[in-house]
Amino acid sequence: MPLRLFRPLRRLRVAVLALAVAGCGLVTDYVIEPGQNSTSGQQPALLAAVPPAHLALHRSLFIADLHADTLLWDRDLLERTDRGHMDLPRMQQGGMGLQVFTLVTDTPRETPDPDPAIDHCIYATSRNLAGLLTVMESRPPRAWFDLRARAFDQAGKLLDAERRSRAPGHAGPQLMVLRSAADLARLLARRAAGEQVIGALLGVEGAHWVGLDNADEATTRAQVRDLFDLGVRVFAPTHRFDNALGGASEGCSGRGLTPQGRWALLEAERLGMVIDLAHASSATLREAVALLREPVVVSHTGVQEGCTGTCYKLRNLSDEEIRAVAAKGGLVGVGFWPEAVGPNGIEDITRVMRHVARALMQPAFRAAHPRLDPHAHLALGSDFDGAVETPIDAAGLPALTWAMVRGGMTEAQLRRAAGGNACRLLARRLPGGGAEAAAACR
Ligand SMILES: [Zn+2]
């Protein structure tokens, strides 16, 4: 081919490729994401109904949310958008104090059958939508096929947002990624002094590359330390399918922890990570609670009781599981989306909260745990930006805390469920923490 013809052709190919990449980004931003992370349209009316006196109380709360998948999407956390559920300006508007940002690397395509009578399970070989998003968002090629690299790439987005939020001239709230109990204490002190700063924790949802290929104990523990060194402080072994660490609630095996799963959880606990049993099979949850010494969380979930219609029972906690988590001093993070709590928006979120407390008042359980406070085991677990529809986004949190009050919570119970319980658990569990560090949590 003559050179003078080749050059324009090459330029054309580059231009077509650039357009294709930009086009993919636009498709994820304006076609895929709005269909995945939506709100139900109730927020303006819900916020309009919040009395001014409650708004003042809301502003005094420390609000912590145990789960959001925002890092999966092509969004700048520092910029307010109307896409998805969360960015720093909306978090500030909603009064949020702390958010767990989860690294989610494999989201299989199958959706569970809404009919619980149909035995449905998700295989690890199902098509991975997180991978497709990573390619379409033009993330670095190393993150396209390698799950660990994808997790590290997502973590990099949060650390980059933290750095830019601190830059001189940045007008919005600052982001502060917490790695220790001392960091949490600093966050609380800065917020108490009136600074606009929001805490963030890195979590992993499905550590699918840890313990692979029958890894030995030293290798498995080193793979967990690799995540700890990255800054991960919330460790969920499984996501939607069984992996090398154990069985998932929607997995096909029904199994519990593997030897690699036991080594991984013990190492994560030893390092000062919080173990998250959302998406764990019943056997994994039971075995993990028996294995571990420290409190665990189920970061985003619903309850099986009253779970009908759009609500997906298999993914939710039985009363027995709620009691097992609480007996260990752990937390149940109540989700905001219909498959977790039911179709009735914000009223279903508070209904599930009431049920968690009620399950902990069962007479036999009370007799065995007479000093346990049923409201000391509740937390928020929104699943914002987790490919779900929620009644509110981060800016709508005052409507949720008002619904919690209308649902019968006292101010003290509200302070605990909205974030006080999460603060106490993190102060105890994060590196350098302990029971005395929890005293700083209001
Ligand atoms: Zn999840």
- In this prediction, residue 26 has a pLDDT band, given cuts at 50, 70 and 90, of low
* Interval 262-280: pLDDT, tens: 999 999 999 999 999 999 9
φ/ψ of 275, rounded to 5, equals -85, 130
- Give residue 291 CA to ligand 1 midpoint distance, Å: 23
**Phi-psi category of 408—alpha, beta or left, where left has phi over 0 and alpha has psi -120 to 50?**
left
CA of 223 to the centre of ligand 1 (A): 22
Q: Confidence band (pLDDT; 50, 70, 90) for 12?
A: low
The band of 2, judged by pLDDT with boundaries at 50, 70 and 90, is very low
Residues 20 and 50 in one domain: no
Q: How many angstroms does the Cα of residue 56 sit away from the middle of ligand 1? A: 32
> Residue 20 Cα, ligand 1 centroid: separation in angstroms?
31
> Does residue 271 form part of some domain?
yes
CA–centroid distance, 130 to ligand 1, in Å, is 13
Domain assignment present for 351 = yes
Reported as a single tens digit per residue, the pLDDT across 120-173 is 788 877 777 888 888 888 888 898 989 999 999 999 999 999 999 999 989 989
- Look at residue 352 and tell me if it is in a domain: yes
Nearest to 380 by CA among 363, 405, 404: 404
**Amino acid identity at 16:** V
Length reported for the chain = 442
CA-CA distance, 174 to 77, in Å (whole number)? 11
For residue 161, give the amino acid letter.
A
Is residue 336, in this structure, part of any structural domain at all? yes
Judge whether 356 and 324 are in contact, CB under 8 Å.
Answer: no
Statement to judge: residues 151 and 193 lie in one domain: yes
Domain residues for the domain of 29 are 1-35
Domain count, the chain: 2
Reduce the DSSP state of residue 300 to 3 states and report it.
strand
Residue 285 within a domain: yes
Q: Look at 26-35, 73-82, 383-392 and tell me which has the smallest mean pLDDT.
A: 26-35
The answer to whether residue 40 is domain-embedded is no
Q: How far is the CA of 68 from the centre of ligand 1 (A)?
A: 8
73 and 14 in a single domain? The answer is no
SS3 (DSSP) at 394: helix
Same structural domain, 329 and 371: yes
Residue 277 and residue 396 in one domain: yes
Whether residue 106 sits in one domain with residue 8 = no
Compute the C-alpha angle 260/156/246, nearest 5°. 15
Nearest to 326 by CA among 372, 363, 366: 372
189 in a domain, yes or no?
Answer: yes
Please state, in angstroms and rounded to a whole number, the distance separating the CA atoms of residues 275 and 296.
5
Is 66 found in the same domain as 6?
Answer: no
pLDDT of 16 above 70: no
Same domain? For 64 and 4 the reply is: no
Distance (angstroms) between ligand 1 centre and the Cα of 32 equals 18
How much distance in Å is there from the Cα of 387 to the middle of ligand 1?
A: 9
pLDDT of 191 reads 96
SS3 content of the chain, % helix, strand, coil (to 5): 50, 15, 35
CA dihedral 91, 317, 122, 32 (to 10 degrees): -20
Residue matched to tokens 């390698």: 146
Same structural domain, 175 and 79? yes
| Domain co-membership, 12 together with 75 | no
**262 three-class SS:** helix
Q: Is 151 part of any domain?
A: yes
Distance 65 CA to ligand 1 centre (A): 13
Interval between CA 301 and ligand 1 midpoint (Å):
8
Determine the distance separating the centroid of ligand 1 and the alpha carbon of 397, expressed in angstroms: 20
Q: Identify whether residues 296 and 241 lie together within a single domain.
A: yes
- pLDDT attached to residue 10: 59
Residues 354 and 396 in one domain: yes
Could you give the dihedral angle defined by the CA atoms of residues 210, 216, 219 and 225, in that order, rounded to the nearest 10 degrees?
Answer: 60
What does the alpha-carbon distance between residue 168 and residue 43 come to, in Å, rounded to a whole number? 34
- Band of pLDDT at residue 34, cut at 50, 70 and 90: low
CATH of the domain at 80: 3.20.20.140
CA 123 to ligand 1 centroid distance, Å: 16
